[in-house]
Structure formats: structure tokens, C-alpha cells
Amino acid sequence: MLIMPEAKVLLVDDEAKIREILKLVLEKEGYQVHTSKNGSEALSALENEYFDVMITDLKMPKMDGLELMREIKQKGIKVNVVFITAYADIKDAVEAIKLGAFDYLEKNFKMEELLSVIKEAVKEQKMIGENESLKKKLAEHDSFFGIIGESPKIKEIKDLIIKIANSQASVLLTGESGTGKEMFARAIHMCSKRKNKPFVAINCAALPQTLLESELFGYEKGAFTGALKQKKGKFEQANEGTIFLDEIGEMNIQTQSKLLRVLQEREYERVGGLETIKIDIRVITATNRDLEEAIKAGDFREDLYYRINVIPIHIPPLRERREDIPLLAEYFLKKFNVDYKKNIELISMEVIDIFMEYDWPGNIRELKNVIERAVAIAEPDVDILMPHHLRPQLICPKKEKDLLEIQDGLSLAEFEKYYIYNTLKKVNWNKSKAAQILGINRQTLYNKMRELSIENKKRECR
């Protein structure tokens, strides 16, 4: 039975007997089938109803298959077309492929061949439809300042951002590394009345703590060795706008004390200076640390914690918002297509399945890197992102500990058989992809399969 539910097929043939037989076979397989006796009738059906696949004879009276294909292309009708042709018409069938047909079969085909082609055609059409849907959703979400996602948690955060954007209250963003906390901080800024003023970001962990204070608050000429002239700090640069302090938990106690005064009084002095500088600023902070534990350890001021934590927002890890993974993947594909001058139109369902099963310890940052690598290494003519474009660790996510948990006394040959078998299984018995992952050529893989008695299974139509 079909894996793709409610797949619709249009059968076009001028011979009623052929239409009846094929309709009976396809309906038994679970397809919804509509029949047409000529090209004109089929074109009318396509204009009024959606079909995943059209199976049509190449030679028909009134409007033949090639003419029908040209009309479909001209009208922009989205359907995968499979032609049935006599051997003498192969040249025309090849012309149909050039026009965009999915495949063709000679009239002496076996029914299993037809069913296999239809399954693949339906699968591709569904994939194209899902990618079009993703692109439509992306167009809607691009307007929310780069935050991509439709999961309940992300929708809730977006709603909260809109509510609190114009507040002066400090916001503390928490979440694992790589969840995109700076993106959310920028969204808060862009939703606020301060959106036309500066947004200044600084990572408190990226600088030595001895330099962080002068970077934040600026310094006067002669304040320390090397201070040859006055320099404005990040707070001054962000005046009337928003400052984003990432990794706030890494800030030392001395700098925390000065930050506390800024939050309370909205004023400070530059390092080595006496002039009090007043500022009008929105402060957003972020951390992947447990600040309450840091307070207990004496590493973070409790009074500062309550000042920065007026509005807490927790950004969930990617594994807790898996429904957003296809949208994010499509977003990054579009971005890196531009960066690397590629034209990869689709992400295969096999790749999406791999992405959905993976736990993404590096979160969005890791997904972004995976897509960038895949686009970068893809050949110029690639138009669909496939599993072999991914890191082997993603395709075969068997943890090292899983391999080590194999029972004691396993021989090297048994281990090798286990590893090769699982690699083949993960890529749906595609020998080329498996060989690439294993770092060997196809012939070596076949030799290993014979040597280790690994049954040569056929690929399944998913």
C-alpha cells in the first residue's frame, strides 16, 4: 500500500481497455484514479483538479502526448508526467523528458515497473509540494526579523516579544549555546520604538575580563598604559538604542557592580574619568549558565540578577522544537545558495528524516553549519540535497557508545559486518551512498558484502 496518503493519478489513453486495467491495478494499490480518453480531456481535468502524477500514452488522436506536455508546461500546471511509448517512439519520449516529463516506459513494461515509477513520481511531487509550502511559510516569517519557526514555543516567544518590545524593562534570554539568543535580542530591538537607533552587541566571554570594563564603559586618555586617546564604550555607542550583553554569566564581580549602577541610575563614568555620562538605553542580557547556581557559588551578584531578570525568556533547544527544523533548513539552503552561487531547489525527504531524528547538540548553529557544508561540497549541477551531501555522522548516527556496547568477544569480521549492514540500512541500500560514507568504492563494497555474507537487498520505495 501507499506510504504517501491520498495520492492522485490521472490516466490518459485512447484505449478504454487499457484505462480500465490500469485503473483497477492502481486503485488496488491505494491511489485515487481519474481517467481521460484524450489529451484535451486530460488538460481540462488538470486545469480543474490537482493530480500528483499523470500516466499518458505518447501517441493519441487529436492531441498527442508531446503536445499535451507542452500545454502543461505553458500553463504552469504542476504534475509529474510518465509517458507510455512504443519502442519506435523513443525519440519522442526523450523529447518529452527534455520538456520536463518525469519518466517513460516502453509498452511491454511489467506492472511492477509502472508501480515503482509511480511511487517515485508521487514521492517527488509531494516533496516539491512540501518545499513550496516551506517557501511560502518562509516568506511569511522573513518579516519577523529572521526568527524562523511555527512551533508553539516559538510562537509564544514571538507574541511575548511584541508585548514587551516598547517596555524599558530589562530582558534576560536563557538557553543552550547555538539557540540564536542574539537573533531574539535583535527582534526585541526591531519591534521597539528604538528600532532606528543603535543595536550594539558584545560577548562578555570573548574578551579578557581586564579589557571588558574599558570596552563597555570606554576610557579617558592616559587611563592606563596604551590609552593614547579617549574612547567611547559600548554603552555610549548604544545610547538611545539597545545594548545586548551576551554570556553575562562570565562577567567578573567588579564589572557587575558597575553594570548594576547603570541599570539603577542610567549613568556611569569612563575608566579613568570623572565626568558622569547619562544614557537612555535598553539592556538585554543572555546566558547559557544557571545564574542562580552562580549566585550560590559567589560568582554572580544577586541584586544584579534581579535587575536583569525582569522579563525572562527561555529559548528552547532545537530538539524541543523539531517541527521548525524543515523551515530552518530551507531558510539556510536559500541563504547559502546565494553565498555559494548554487541552485539547489529542494531538500530531499530522506535528508529531512535524518534531520528530524538527530538531536542537534549544537542547536541552530550546528544545523546552519551542516547546510552550509552540504551546499559548499555539492556539485554545480545538483538541484536536490541528498543524504550523501551530509556529514557521515548524521547519516549513520550510531553513537560510539552504541558500537562499544556490542557484546564482548565480537570478532573484527562481525564488527565490520555490523557496521556495513547498518550503513546500508541507513541509506536505504543505496550502494553508492554507502560506499561514499564508508570511504570505499562500489566494487570494494560489493566484495565486502559477498565476503561477509550481507544479503544484497533491493532499495525500498518509501
Judged against a pLDDT cut of 70, whether residue 332 lies above it is answered with: yes
Q: So what's the pLDDT on residue 449?
A: 86
C-alpha grid cell for residue 243? 545594548
Burial of 243 (0-12, 13-18, 19+ CB in 10 A): buried
The pLDDT value given to residue 177: 93
Does residue 365 have a pLDDT over 90? Answer: yes
Question: Is the pTM value of this prediction over 0.85?
Answer: no
Q: What is the pLDDT of residues 20-54, one digit of tens each?
A: 899 999 999 889 999 999 989 999 999 999 999 99
In this predicted structure, the answer to whether residue 154 has a pLDDT above a threshold of 60 is yes
Q: Give the pLDDT band of residue 397 (cuts 50, 70, 90).
A: low
Name the CATH superfamily for 400-451.
Answer: Homeodomain-like (1.10.10.60)
The more confident residue out of 136 and 343 is 343
Q: What is the pLDDT of residues 75-98, one digit of tens each?
A: 889 899 999 887 656 777 778 888
In the block, residue with C-alpha cell 557508545: 401
Domain 152-316 in the same topology as domain 8-138: yes
C-alpha cell at 87: 519502442
Q: Comparing C-alpha atoms, which of 207, 165, 211, 210 is closest to residue 184?
A: 165
What is the CATH number assigned to the segment(s) 152-316? 3.40.50.300
pLDDT exceeds cutoff 90 at 242: yes
For the domain made up of 319-395, give the CATH fold: Helicase, Ruva Protein; domain 3 (1.10.8)
- What is the reported pLDDT for 136? 60
So what's the pLDDT on residue 135? 59
Q: Is the pLDDT of residue 139 over 90?
A: no
pLDDT in tens, 402-433: 444 444 445 566 667 777 887 887 777 888 77
pLDDT for residue 221 is more than 70: yes
Q: Which carries the bigger pLDDT value, residue 456 or residue 143? A: 456
Q: Which of 205-209, 230-234, 296-300 is modeled with the greatest confidence?
A: 296-300
Task: Give the rounded percent of residues in the chain with a pLDDT score beyond 70.
Answer: 89
Residues 6+ apart with CB under 8 A from 171: 164, 185, 188, 283, 284, 285, 310, 311, 312, 313
Pick the CATH number of 8-138 from 1.10.10.10, 3.40.50.80, 3.40.50.2300, 2.30.40.10: 3.40.50.2300
Cα–Cα distances (Å) from 447 to 7, 96, 159, 355, 456, in that order, read 40, 39, 58, 31, 11
| Residue extents of the structural domains in the chain | 8-138, 152-316, 319-395, 400-451
Question: Does position 15 have pLDDT exceeding 90, yes or no?
Answer: no
Query: Are 1 and 45 spatial neighbours (Cβ–Cβ below 8 Å)?
Result: no
